[in-house]
Amino acid sequence: MREVDDDGARNKDWVGVDEQGRVTAFIPRRPLAGMEELAGRGLMQRRGNSIFGGVNLGSIGVSYAFLDCLLDEFKREVNDPTANRKDRPALDPEFFTALTIAAMEDPAARTAAWERARHENQDVEALHRHFPDMVQRLVRAIGSFEQRRRRKLKLAAMNFEGQYWGDIGQHTKIYEFYMALNLPGPAGEIARAIAGLPSDRDASGNLCSNAELGLDVQARNSVLIDVALSGTGHIENSVLIGTRAKNIRAKDGFDALSTVVDLTIEPRGGTYKVVSLVPVHTNAGERLTTLFLPRSGASLFRVKEDTDLRNKNETYAVPILGNPMSFQQAHLEMGSLSVGQLEKARLEHERQVLTAMRSGVS
């Protein structure tokens, strides 16, 4: 449970919780003004001038007793070997949204709530198209449970109270997650303690752990963990973890586990496991990674930190930013490879890049 601020409202899904700790609704992310409207409907708690709700941690627990009732209701779909898995609802948010609405006592209120949920969330609307009787079937499953157990279904929230929040689920938040290692104050101290970093900075303001820097690599006010930089470079206010590069320029950005000959990271840029023989330039606010696709091999993919990949028609199902294919198609192709195959391809490409660096390629 926590106060809903503008950043949290826009970037996290929420659970409405009443004063008795019961779940009132699953609430997808939206602007803070939308949360105000939900508080007015009694779905979130209002404490003075503030709104409180439960941040959805994505960990939804369901009892075996209720799972048995759900299986009885959806046995045909679960056991259908010809079913299209893409048509099956995700637990979070679609199915959980339907379940919270099905648990409402008043049929008219259920109908109105379902109509609102369909209007507010395209994934819920897609669920309704594939399973137009979903809420009614969940009502039957709940009724079956209550008859068997001779009590009402309990839909309750667990409050984990004062937890450290390290959010890496979105491209905007992952920047803050990594860069917290370089922050002053309590947030930085907690992040560095979790990472086991030393607290002493060198004369240039760097925190270094197992860092090998060439004589022509200049670093200032940065965090460098397990890095090997052999050529020339300038690093400022950045966080590098496991980076292996010859030439590097990074300002107010981060890298995690990339192996590149030449890497440039503009402010708020970030790279994850990029492997490349050719120079890689990360524009401001971009995120880059290398995917090892079964047909086209190592391919660089870009996304902007504010790209809404939930907008499937405009950003997920079509190629964007010069990427060789859509993220949807890349997901399908990557799913055809085993973890072992992917790891083998990555290690082979990393060996090629490291060999090129040792041989003087720039």
- Alpha-carbon distances, residue 47 vs 4, 38, 39, 70 (angstroms): 11, 14, 10, 36
pLDDT in tens, 210-262: 999 999 999 999 999 999 999 999 999 999 999 999 999 999 999 999 999 99
Q: Could you tell me whether strands 280-282 and 45-47 are parallel, antiparallel, or unpaired per DSSP bridges?
A: unpaired
CB of 38 within 8 A of CB of 17?
Answer: no
**Could you give the 3-state DSSP secondary structure of residue 192?**
helix
pLDDT of residue 86: 77
Task: Assign a CATH topology to domain 201-358.
Answer: UDP N-Acetylglucosamine Acyltransferase; domain 1 (2.160.10)
Q: Could you tell me whether strands 50-55 and 14-17 are parallel, antiparallel, or unpaired per DSSP bridges?
A: antiparallel
- Domain limits of the chain? 1-163, 201-358
pLDDT of residue 166: 61
Beta-carbon contacts of 199 under 8 Å, excluding residues fewer than 6 positions away, are: 192, 207
First-to-last CA distance in the chain? Answer: 52
pLDDT of residue 28: 82
pLDDT of residue 179: 95
Please enumerate, as own/partner, the contacts of 258-265 that have beta carbons within 8 Å and a separation of 24 or more: 259/349, 259/350, 259/353, 259/354, 260/353, 261/353, 261/356, 261/357, 261/361, 261/362, 262/362, 265/238
Find, among 70, 91, 77, 76, the residue nearest to 145 by Cα. 70
**What is the residue whose two structure tokens read 């947030």?**
187
CB of 7 within 8 A of CB of 14?
Answer: no
**What is the residue whose two structure tokens read 């679960």?**
78
pLDDT of residue 361: 54
Q: Where are the alpha helices (DSSP H) in 182-277?
A: 185-195
CB of 263 within 8 A of CB of 250?
Answer: yes
Find, among 61, 4, 54, the residue nearest to 31 by Cα. 4
pLDDT of residue 25: 83
In the chain, which residues have pLDDT < 70? 163-169, 360-362
**What is the residue whose two structure tokens read 């709940």?**
142
pLDDT in tens, 299-315: 999 999 988 887 888 99
The separation between CA 69 and the C-alpha centre of its own chain, rounded to angstroms, equals 31
